Amino acid sequence: MKRTLIITGIVAVVIVIAMIVFGKLTSRKDTTSVYTEVKQGPFEITVTNSGDLEAEKSIDILGPEIQQSNSQGQRGGGGPGGMGGDRMRLQSFKITDIVPEGTIVNKGDYIAQLDRTDYDNTLKSALENLNTLQSNLEMAVLDTAVTLTNLRDAIKNQIITVEEADITLQQSKYEPPATIRQAEISLDKQQRALEQKVKNYQLRKAKALTDIKLKKRLLADGTTLVENLQTFLAQFTIKAPSQGMVIYKEEFNGSKRKTGSQVNPFDRVIATLPDMTSMISKTYVSEIEVNKIQKGQKVIMTIDAMPGKSWTGSVTNVANIGEVLENSDAKMFEVLIKVDGINTELRPAMTTYNKIIINSYENVVYIPTECVHAGTDGIAFVYKKNKTRQIVVLGEMNDKNTIVKQGLEPGTSLYLIAPEEASKFKLVGKDLVAELNR
């Protein structure tokens, strides 16, 4: 029993000793972790934001174009005019099929199919109307031929009648005056009848030719409409205008046009073919940082999907007007960054992390920004490991560190956070106050 108690006591003592040792080790570790050293070397002032890759230039893959018809219902430009033209102009196009986004296509390859049901009905009506116009023209030509033939026969018969009346008059010159006069009246009557038949023939012919001309024009208009509709409907099968990678058109709400989407006739883009040889990253910076950004500044770019790789670029455009983005109350300004060179690995919509280099220094002294403190007078100082408070003259800062122009030497140990007995630390470097006031 005593032996058991002794062993238990020894174990307890060992545990207590271990806890004390562990506590000291932990304390030492914590104490060490609050220090840092003043460093010297290259220093960069940067603004870092994420962005999205997109092609600097791209070719739009467009749906059919409908142009307004003129007042006569004839062809208006390159689209279907006349029957159905104005009605179709206000309709949208539904995408019934489209190749997967990211598909590599050659010029002329299939891209998408649009729903042509409504327009097939319009074409059917136009074809039926064209057949009617063709029949009307043929009937008008036939009727004209028959009518004018009859009128010409009547004129020929009347000419014979006039000749007979003239012969009768000539044979009556030895007859009594009354008989001669009667023959003269008969000849005059037949001549006037001939003139009337000739005039009637000319009027009927002119009217028939005008009617035929009108029907020919209507037939030509109907033929043009059918041809336009057929050409128009052929555009419902969308083909690639050039070689490239298919990228779906993005709507104003952020969604993309795909199978089932409606294509507005005033925004006919189905998809785009980006020029992969020239890529840009579109990013946004806050209104606080935008004044630091200028055209021509160098950029270091990385992509999560390609760890270990980086690309260079430069700022090509900084927006003059800010905008409020989704889930953000602050004004953000669009910044465009052109990627240097041709990079076949990069693809549109990849997320980039862009480090815009505002300024760079080859060899300066710098410290973590959290080491810097300031009193009520606003004078900056740091806590040194030797129990002093060192006044410092600061320069520019980036997201982590701050340049120290005067007051510190490289390798000096500093507190990362204010020590517990900071008030006991001696203030040194008062000679730098004059430098701070300059």
pLDDT, tens only, 318-362 = 999 988 887 777 889 999 999 998 887 888 888 999 999 999 899
Where in the chain are all domains bearing CATH 2.40.30.170? 49-55+276-360
For 49-55+276-360, CATH gives: 2.40.30.170
CA 407, CA 418: separation in Å to the nearest integer?
18
So what's the pLDDT on residue 71? 41
Q: Assess contact for 349 and 67: CB atoms under 8 A.
A: no
Q: Minimal CA–CA distance to 289: which of 326, 324, 330?
A: 330
3-state helix, strand, coil in the chain (%, to 5): 40, 30, 30
pLDDT confidence of 174, banded at 50, 70, 90? confident
Yes or no: say if 346 and 56 are a contact pair by the CB < 8 Å rule: no
> Alpha helix (H) ranges present in 34-116?
85-89
Torsion of the alpha carbons at 189, 191, 197 and 199, rounded to the nearest 10: -120
Architecture per CATH, domain 361-436, reads as Beta Barrel (2.40)
The answer to whether 326 and 31 are in contact (CB under 8 A) is no
Q: For residue 149, give both structure tokens.
A: 């033939």
Contact 263, 315 (CB under 8 A): no
- In the Cβ-directed half-sphere of 39, how many Cα atoms lie within 13 Å? 14
Residues 6+ apart with CB under 8 A from 114: 63, 64, 93, 94, 95, 96, 236, 237, 238, 263
Work out the angle at residue 204's Cα, subtended by the Cα atoms of residues 150 and 142, and round it to the nearest 5 degrees. 60
Burial tier of 156 (Cβ tally within 10 Å: 0-12, 13-18, 19+): exposed
**CA neighbor of 283 nearest in space, from 320, 244, 336:** 336
Q: What is the pLDDT of residue 381?
A: 93
pLDDT at 29 over 70: no
Query: Which residues sit opposite 351 in a β-bridge?
Result: 52
429: left (phi over 0), alpha (psi -120 to 50) or beta: left
CA dist., res. 228 & res. 219, Å (int): 14
Six-digit token string for 126: 């136009």
In this structure, the strands spanning 104-105 and 244-245 are antiparallel
Could you tell me where in the chain the CATH 2.40.420 domains are found? 361-436
pLDDT at 79 over 50: no
Determine how β-strand 310-318 pairs with β-strand 279-286: unpaired
User: Which residue has tokens 């403190």?
Assistant: 373
With respect to CATH, is domain 59-244 assigned 2.40.160? no
pLDDT tens by residue, 245-273 = 898 888 877 788 889 888 888 888 889 89
pLDDT digits (tens, 9 = 90+) for 390-420: 999 999 988 889 999 999 999 999 999 888 8
Burial class (CB in 10 A: 0-12, 13-18, 19+), 431: exposed
Q: Which residue has the tokens 């070689």?
A: 243
Task: Give residue 67's pLDDT band: very low, low, confident or very high (50, 70, 90).
Answer: low
Neighbouring-strand partners of residue 366: 39, 403
More confident residue, 85 or 401: 401
